Each structure stands twice: as structure tokens, then as C-alpha cells.
Homo-oligomer: A and B are copies of this chain.
Amino acid sequence: MSKLVIEQPDGSNRDLASAERRSAILHATLELLAARGLHQTKIADIVRESGASIGSIYHHFGSREGVFYALYIETFELCFAELRTAVLPSTTAREGIRGLADTYLRWVEQHPARATFIYDVSQGDILRSFLPEIAAFKGAFYTEIFAWMQPFIAAGEIIALPPWAYDAIMMGPAHEFARRWLGGQRELPMAAAREIIADSIWRAMQPATS
């Protein structure tokens, strides 16, 4: 890290420190994903865009999948950090529940390349070999959110359901809209969607009155 970065005559960055090289590979991969999608992002493209060699990429990430996995985790960390900040400090159920969907959709709008990538690999066919790690990572996040909800559930402000039901109800509509918006329908009004979806989730989370 403290090592000098020396520009080579041919313009490539041969002497990036290791951590910077690693990060350059991920950055180049994200750019390529945004431009042409997961399927069309080849190792040779990453080599060209990042300035790293094949050997270097395999040293750092083990495989093409490994590059994607690293980017996937990095992306989740970025996204979850924002969601935590939006939800956990909330002192009312309504603010927290609405904030979850609202903040998530804001994040999608600000990071369309990362969000598209997440949806492209999610359900985990390409990253099948990393599925257990991914499930554990997500599970830890939902556990935090669930803990925040407990007092409101106990107080009857949020409907009481089995734990596995909450993420379907709280995140499903936002994911569904985000997929449509990212997948070619960016003309859909995101700001209105945030309102409508946050409202509908809040209604779905109300204890039944009858």
C-alpha cells in the first residue's frame, strides 16, 4: 500500500501494490458488467480493462466465478451498510419498515450496475459453489433486522409471523420492481415507486383488523 505506483512507458500499471491490483480487477469487472452483462464479460476482457495479467487474476480470485463472488460480497456489504443505517436507528415501526424498501430502491437507483449484477447472479446458478457463504451472509443481515422488529411485533404494531415470512413480504415487492426498472424499463418513475411500494408493504405488515 505504501509502495509507489510507477507508471510504465507502455501505459500499463505494472507496479500497483497487490491490494490495488485486486481492487483494479474488481473495478474493471464492474465496468464490463455494466456495459455488456455477466455472460459477455470474459476473462480476456478483464485482463484488457484492468491491466492485470491472467495469472494475477487467478492468483487473487482463483477463478472467473471467484472474481464475481468477491464483487458480489463487496456489493452486498455496501448495500447492507446503507440499509442498516436507515432501519436500525428508527424508533417507530412505520419509519423503519418504510425505510427498508425506500432506502433499498434509492440504492438501486444510485448503483444500477451493481444492482443488475446482483440480480444476474442471484438465485445462485453461476455462484452455485459459493451458495452456503452467500446464504450465511444474507442470513446475518436479516437476523439484525428481525431483532430490530421484535419490540414492535411484541407491541402488536407489526403483524406476528414466522420469521421466514418477513423478508418475502418486506423485500419482495421492492425486488420485483427493481428487476423491472433495471431490466430495460428505466422510464418507470422510481420516486413514485418508492412511495407506493413502501405504503403497500406497510399495509401488508399491519395486523389484520377483522
Contacts and interface: CB of A to CB of B under 8 A. Distances in A.
Interface size class of A (residues with CB under 8 A): 35 or more
Interface in A169-210: 169, 171-177, 179-180, 182-185, 188-189, 192-193, 196-197, 199-201, 203-206, 208
A173 B164 contact: no
Nearest to A131: B184
Given A164-B188, A197-B165, A131 B183 contact: yes
A171 B206 CA distance: 19
Nearest to A36: B128
Contact of A208 (B167, B192, B193, B203): B203
A3 interface: no
Contact of A123 (B169, B183, B208): B183
Given A184-B131, A196-B162, A126 B39 contact: yes
Interface of A is mostly: helix
A168 interface: yes
Contacts of A206: 203
Contact of A168 (B161, B165, B182, B197): B197
A61 B168 CA distance: 36
A26 B206 CA distance: 45
Among A37, A169, A172, A197, residue most surrounded by chain B Cβ atoms (within 10 Å) = A172
A184 B126 CA distance: 15
Contact of A180 (B168, B184, B205): B168
Nearest to A182: B123
28 contacts: A38-B125, A119-B123, A123-B182, A123-B183, A135-B183, A135-B184, A162-B192, A164-B180, A164-B188, A165-B196, A165-B197, A167-B176, A167-B180, A168-B173, A168-B174, A168-B176, A168-B180, A168-B197, A169-B173, A172-B173, A172-B174, A172-B175, A173-B173, A175-B176, A176-B176, A199-B208, A200-B205, A203-B208
